[in-house]
Chains A and B, each alone.
Chain A
Amino acid sequence: MNSILVIAEQRRGELMPSSLECIGAAVELKSSNNSTVIVAIIAANASEFVSQLSLEGVDEVITIVSPVAHFQADFSEAAALSLINDRQPSLVLAPHSVDAWGYIPALATTGNYGIASDVFAIRYEDGNLIATRAAYAEKLHQELEFPSYATTVLTVRGNTFKVIEQSGNPVVSDFAAPAVDLRTKHIEYIEPEGGGEVDITQAELMLSIGRGIAEEDNVEQFAELADNMGFTLGCSRPIADNGWLPKYRQVGQSGKTVANCQVYIAMGISGSVQHMAGMKHVANIIAVNTDPEASIFSIARYGVVADIFDIAEELETHFE
């Protein structure tokens, strides 16, 4: 029987939410491919994650005990390779994360597996796996097939698959990974400077400002507005380029993708292709611009043709 293997991730003793999304993707696929879903966790304390991974639709949870407390690429690669050889899954899913990229490419090369990164849609058509990913800085989506591979490894983009809420009752087993020469060791975690205080990729409510705000002091006005509204402040490239807001608040191709955003208010942003690459997926985009032909309106759910300062003043009075 076909199987789909999910390699879950933990960091500092916490299961990474992206692992649960990978499980969601696997369970979504299992019926269309008549597969079983196997979830493996590699950690020094692997058994502690079993209950969190025992979700509805998961058939087996495999614990692989790591000799080290933190992620180690050589061990992860060897353990995953050995497990794939043992279980022969047709599909392996892992989060599109810095850890996965420490070993997944090497794993795919060593095992001669198909591979695609940053995948945000997966389906089977006539039994053939099709993975969708973005190309050319999100300007187009490409669909990939892997016809000549018995096993394909995909790293899955965060916030694209639903997490399963219900618990399940999978079989739990151990798997002994082969001994391997560990060529690196973990020294310490260093928090990113500056950007540590706000991660716009995780923000659900965003208020972003663009060239329309005209002056640096006006940035403060909109920062205050965002604060009053409980929104996270973001910006387009010209604002960050002027040094008016930190780079970590920049949305777009040269900035960040607001992956988790539910409501995005774009004020004074005309909507360059580069900016829209970072936010066009948001379900509720509210655009405010004096130019009725601004590109941003083509992707907005609600459009307001008005002066951003007038709208800001009205919003201020509505949020205590």
Chain B
Amino acid sequence: MCKVAIRPQACILDELQQHVLESKDIYGAAALYPKLVQYYGSNSNAVLMLERLFASRQRYRRILAAAQFTPLEVMSWLVRDNETLCLNKLAMNLATPLPILSKLMVRAPIERQLRLARHPTMSTELLARLPMQHPEIHHALCRNPNTGIAQLRQLAQNVSLVEAQCLALNPHADGELLINLWQRFDDPFLHANLATNGQLPASLRGLTLTSDSPLIRRKTAANPSLTKAQQHLLLADTQYTVRAAMVRYASIRSDHREVDEHHRVRRVYARCAGLDTATLAHLSKDRDAWVRRWVARNPSTGSVVLKALALDSEPQVRRGITRNDVTSLSLLEQLSQDRDAWVRAGVAYRSDISISIIERLSHDTSDDVLAGLASNLHCPQLLLQRLSQHTSADVRRAVINNSVTSSEILMNLVEDPYGFNRAQLCINPRLPERALWHLLDDPEAQVRFNVVTRLSGLE
């Protein structure tokens, strides 16, 4: 180890490189690789030595190809691999970026092309180059939201009912294509999918609005192109499922649903933004507890109604108040003394509570309450110190993840018995460098990866 107090980055990188090579730690090596490329260049000996480690075992390359944390630079190296399984894993990895996907297209066998056809990051241009005649790729292209309209039209010429249902939901499908699907398939589920598509021509939307099928009318409620008159029509539907869906998606004010005969409609209505005080007051007295729960969380609910709801017999209603941004400090003070721990926990997680509330809650025995305090940005260091020694790994993790926790407290957590806690500890920027070196040999791969990522970024 270098003996200087402030070491240059080269010294740190060299030491890290030596360590990951000696310990054959591919996770650490993956974290270090981009820094070495950046610092020494891609053809440097330092970089080549890490590549030799990656290349030494197929298993290493497969692990890295499948991992979502693998850096772009490592993926760029992996894509040169000749092994099919490794390349397939890269093609399946959701974190694989478009430039790598583009390279994976080169001389890709059908198996890999299928994975690429499913990948949500594939561009319209790349997808257009895949062989549509292969049945599974055909199906995957129908599902992929990035498939372009020109390709969708080609796909539509020969689609199964299930594929047609996928095409009906594709955001790139245009009116002409949707009409074509409507006419070719007399299937209620396909028509229901078509009903939701904003590109559905007005003539067909008229049919879905007046369909005998409640399913199709309900799906029509989700169509973003509905006119106000059409929304009013569905708000007055005889089926509660249709009315509830329309209340959920309506761009207009769906007045007077507080008196809807069905509780499911009132529940959705109680969530709506911008309801007036009288309506919310009416809903706050609803016999259905779920309606009252939604009113308690609604930011339009006034202080008088919230105060009344704070006495509700249903704990989840009182909990809802604690999670409402507009709830006053005095009401939070009151709820911090609630008999139900989950209500008190709701207060503990609030970043706007006073130190007196924190002090009161610090004597609580509930792990939920204590975890809330431990994650609170206003939690005093003395309390964080105490909570860092709690028997619950969840409470200790909340201390670890709190951005105000002091370096001294974090240092005491480097031996935390729960591996995930140590992995989280490494990404807290307040953890001192000496603690990171201590964790370099941690048995958990995620910890080592995070440690090397942090250390290799030190200046």
Residues of A within 8 A of B (CB): 193-194, 216-217, 220, 224, 227, 237, 240-241, 243, 246-247, 250, 254, 274, 291-293, 305, 313, 316-317
Contacts and interface: CB of A to CB of B under 8 A. Distances in A.
B267 interface: yes
B366 A217 contact: no
A225 B230 CA distance: 28
Interface string B56-93: 00000000000000000000000000000000000011
Given A194-B366, A274-B420, A293-B92, A243 B297 contact: no
Interface stretch (B30-38, B171-179, B393-401, B432-440): B393-401
B314 to A, nearest CB: 12
Q: Quick one: which of A216, A220, A291, A292 has the most chain B CB within 10 A? A: A220
B394 A224 contact: no
A291 B94 contact: yes
B368 A243 contact: yes
A254 B365 contact: no
B366 A193 contact: yes
Interface in B351-373: 365-368, 371-372
A194 B368 contact: yes
Q: Is the interface of A mostly helix, strand, loop or mixed?
A: helix
Interface residues of B, number: 39
Given A220-B293, A317-B218, A193 B241 contact: no
Interface centre among A241, A243, A313 (most CB of B within 10 A): A243
B20 interface: no
B244 to A, nearest CB: 8
Nearest to A255: B394
Nearest to B339: A193
B342 interface: yes
Interface in B263-283: 264, 267, 271
27 contacts: A194-B368, A217-B271, A217-B297, A220-B293, A220-B294, A220-B297, A224-B267, A224-B290, A240-B394, A241-B371, A241-B398, A243-B371, A243-B372, A243-B375, A246-B342, A246-B345, A246-B368, A247-B394, A250-B394, A254-B393, A254-B418, A254-B420, A291-B94, A292-B118, A293-B92, A293-B94, A313-B245
B318 interface: no
Contacts of B94: 291, 293
A218 to B, nearest CB: 11
Contact of A193 (B264, B293, B341, B394): B341
Given A194-B366, A224-B290, A316-B264, 20 more contacts: A193-B365, A194-B342, A224-B267, A237-B420, A241-B397, A241-B398, A241-B401, A243-B346, A243-B371, A243-B372, A243-B375, A246-B342, A246-B345, A246-B368, A254-B394, A254-B420, A292-B118, A293-B93, A313-B245, A317-B218
A221 to B, nearest CB: 9
Contacts of B245: 313
Nearest to B375: A243
B449 interface: no
A224 B316 CA distance: 11
A212 B188 CA distance: 29
Contacts of B294: 220
Nearest to B245: A313
A224 B218 CA distance: 19
B54 interface: no
A291 B372 CA distance: 31
Interface string B298-319: 0000000000000000000000
Main secondary structure, interface of B, reads helix
B138 to A, nearest CB: 16
Nearest first, the 6 closest Cβ-Cβ pairs linking A and B are A194-B341, A243-B349, A317-B241, A293-B92, A246-B368, A247-B367
Interface in B391-418: 392-394, 397-398, 401, 418
B371 A247 contact: yes
B323 interface: yes
Contacts of A316: 264
Contacts of A313: 245
Given A220-B297, A274-B420, A291-B94, A247 B368 contact: yes
A292 B116 CA distance: 12
Contacts of A274: 420
A319 to B, nearest CB: 10
Q: Which of B118, B297, B342 has the most chain A CB within a 10 Å cutoff?
A: B342
Contacts of B418: 254
B398 A216 contact: no
Contacts of A291: 94
Nearest to A274: B420
B111 to A, nearest CB: 14
Nearest to B294: A220
Contacts of A240: 394
A244 to B, nearest CB: 9
Nearest to A254: B393
A258 to B, nearest CB: 18
Nearest to B342: A246
A224 B393 CA distance: 29
A247 to B, nearest CB: 5
B265 to A, nearest CB: 12
Contacts of B340: 194
A305 B94 CA distance: 14
A292 to B, nearest CB: 6
Contacts of B92: 293
A224 B297 CA distance: 14
A317 B222 CA distance: 15
Interface string B109-134: 00000000010000000000000000
Nearest to A313: B245
Contacts of B392: 247
Contacts of B271: 217
A8 B366 CA distance: 32
A237 B348 CA distance: 19
Contacts of A246: 341-342, 345, 368
Contacts of A317: 218, 241
Best-buried of B245, B368, B371 by chain A (most CB within 10 Å): B368
Contacts of B372: 243
Nearest to A196: B341
Contacts of B365: 193
Nearest to A227: B290
Nearest to B369: A194
Nearest to B264: A316
A216 B297 CA distance: 10
Contacts of B349: 243
Nearest to B242: A317
A215 B393 CA distance: 24
A250 B394 CA distance: 11
Contacts of B345: 243, 246
B394 A241 contact: yes
Contacts of A216: 323
A273 to B, nearest CB: 10
